[in-house]
Structure 1
Amino acid sequence: MVLRPAALGLLGVFAVSVCQAQAPALDLFTYEAPPHQVNQADDLGRTRAVGETVDTVMCAAGRSGRTTRVRVTPPNRALYSLRRNLIDGYFAIDPSPELDAIATRTDPVALAKWYFFSAREGIDLRHARIGVVAGSHESSWLTHQGYEIALSVATPRQLVALLRLNRIDAALMDEQVMAGLNVDTEGPGADLHSRFVRFAPLYLYFSDRFTRAAPEFAGRFNRFLPGCMKTALNLSDSEQAFLRQQARKLLMELNASVSLDRALTDGPRLPTFADILNIDKQWQALAPDQSVPLADQLLTLPASRALRAWQDSHRGLVTEALLITKSGTLAAMSQLTSDYWQGDEAKFRENIRKAVTARFEESDLYLSPVRYDASTRQFQVMVSAPLNASDGSGNTGVIALGLNISQALQGLER
């Protein structure tokens, strides 16, 4: 029998489907951390892991060709199993040099926001009795930072009870985990004070045994992750207000240090929109490893050098500074960006048509959603504001700053 090309193609698709169907299920451990991941029992008493992070991992694994079995287990047992190749992987874990040496880390599968919670305000954390969940990422981070841990317990709810009994002064916990304990305004943490600590990327680590058996899987998994993460990391009203205060001070300082109006005038101009899009296409194809001649020209402008010097003076707080013309093109930049034309991005669109009566008022600032930058492994937020002609004739462009949000929120207490 001679098979026609169409039949051969169908056989190929069938073979791939059979291979994927026969691929063994991923055997993954996670830990109890409502609402990210939690054990849930059905009517027959059978338990299964559910939650947003579980959904993210199972989605990316499924799109990569694997079914997944996720079990909730204590962190210490999960780490023991990962180190000894008894499981395929463990999530969601704060990165560590030890694990990086023996396992393969994916891109972030969850974005955690850590706060110190306390029953009283003004706690001196360096001399406080601090409680954590045993084996948690918070516990490891505190030890690495030189804090002394007074008590380790099995669950977050026990930490809240210890705070109420004055057995500990402060507890380090993911904000969403604390929120998961609160069923209403009278919930466990309703009357506690909080102090922002950091944004923590949490990862899935594949065991060495699994990586050797499926060396391409982690790459496929990472490609599907962004489309599987359902929600962005939201900022509370108090966090947004605090960021706007910080951003306004920075913008006022920058405006006094650099002649932004002159920089907008001195920046390069392209004759047509088609030219802009053509350069932007070339720019995006090369960045960030290489640059087009126009990018090199921009980086050598006095305004760009001034933006870079100003950025450096803030020691990691400012991650980039961009000056954008009214047509959406870059007039100056502190470092090479991923694209030249900014006209399709919210930081430009939300500002260029604003009728502003005062310079850099907090209500006029645009704050982007929080995003995780894989190249720098930092959480960032873009803040931007319109620039106005001195004669009141209208908007002349937009100034945009990237902020390391973990640094920008330091000092926030609620």
Structure 2
Amino acid sequence: MRSWFARLSIAGAFVVGLTGPNAAVGLNVFETELGQLARTRLVEVARSPVVVEAVREQNRATGAYPDARIAELDEKWAAEAAAEQKGGEAGPLIAETMGRPVSLYLRQIQERSQGLFTEIILMDARGLNVGISQTTSDYWQGDEDKWQKTFLAGPNSLHIGALEEDLSTRTVQSQVSLPVVDPQTKEVIGALTFGVDVEEL
């Protein structure tokens, strides 16, 4: 297992840039391993019936949301997340999302990964949270690469984010995102993001 010093060296010295519609700025030396992980374990989760059906169901509810409604929900979520971070209980919007069967499924996957996955976020066709393994700071992910470079990029897209250092937990992570595809229509209906601790690869 790599030392903390080695991880910092990797994060600081071996970041490279790629081009193309699915390339992140500052991709890392773990791109190959993360790509292989995405095309095996992660895609299985994205194709699972519980994930696909949860996205389908939410799309039926949120598809007609006006932008103002999305902004309102995102603001409400942010306030609840901030209160939770200060030691309060989860607010109603976060609690409802965390209580869904798909969120339980994602939490179980994270727990069973033995530290490989640091978070899992499932998003609908509007970029809103469908299921989460733990509380996120935002409810709407539609302005971020995790959604824009997967949902908008097509059924075969893959986005590997830059390495990010978390000094509080002494981990170096990368977000790996892929689309959720409806097996019946072959259309992209959502997106799925995994936070991956690269030392655990």
User: TM-score of the superposition, structure 1-length normalised?
Assistant: 0.39
Task: List aligned pairs for 1:354-365, cutoff 5 A.
Answer: 354-356=153-155, 364-365=157-158
Secondary structure in 1 aligned to 2:150? helix
Residue 176 (structure 2) pairs with residue 383 (structure 1)? yes
Aligned to 2:162: 369
Indicate conservation of the 8 Å contact 1:370/1:379, yes or no.
Answer: yes
Aligned to 1:277: 71
Pair member with larger Rg:
1
Task: List aligned pairs for 1:105-124, cutoff 5 A.
Answer: 111-113=8-10
Secondary structure in 1 aligned to 2:178? strand
Counterpart selection for 1:335 from 134, 140, 147: 134
Residue 124 (structure 2) pairs with residue 325 (structure 1)? yes
Indicate conservation of the 8 Å contact 2:46/2:180, yes or no.
Answer: no
Residue 56 (structure 2) pairs with residue 265 (structure 1)? yes
Indicate conservation of the 8 Å contact 2:56/2:189, yes or no.
Answer: no
Distance 1:378 1:175 in 2: 16
Higher relative contact order (CA 8 A, sep 6+): 2
Aligned-residue offset at 1:306: 0.8
Indicate conservation of the 8 Å contact 1:234/1:370, yes or no.
Answer: yes
Aligned length: 179
Residue 143 (structure 2) pairs with residue 349 (structure 1)? no
Aligned to 1:88: none
% of aligned pairs identical?
Answer: 28
- Unmatched runs of 5 consecutive residues or more in structure 1: 1-93, 96-109, 115-173, 177-231, 358-363, 409-414
Secondary structure in 2 aligned to 1:347? helix
Indicate conservation of the 8 Å contact 2:179/2:190, yes or no.
Answer: yes
Q: Structure 1, residues 343-362: CA drift from partner, whole Å, max 9, x if none?
A: 000010001122336xxxxx
Aligned-residue offset at 1:255: 4.1
Aligned-residue offset at 1:399: 1.1
Aligned to 1:292: 91
Aligned-residue offset at 1:259: 2.0
Dislocated runs of 4+, deviation >6 Å: none
Indicate conservation of the 8 Å contact 1:266/1:331, yes or no.
Answer: no
Q: Structure 1, residues 293-350: CA drift from partner, whole Å, max 9, x if none?
A: 1110010001100110111111110111111000110111111111100000001000
More strand by share: 1
Distance 1:256 1:338 in 2: 26
Distance 1:305 1:113 in 2: 33
- Unmatched runs of 5 consecutive residues or more in structure 2: 15-24
Distance 1:392 1:265 in 2: 12
Aligned to 1:70: none
Secondary structure in 2 aligned to 1:283? helix
Distance 1:355 1:343 in 2: 15
Indicate conservation of the 8 Å contact 1:258/1:306, yes or no.
Answer: no
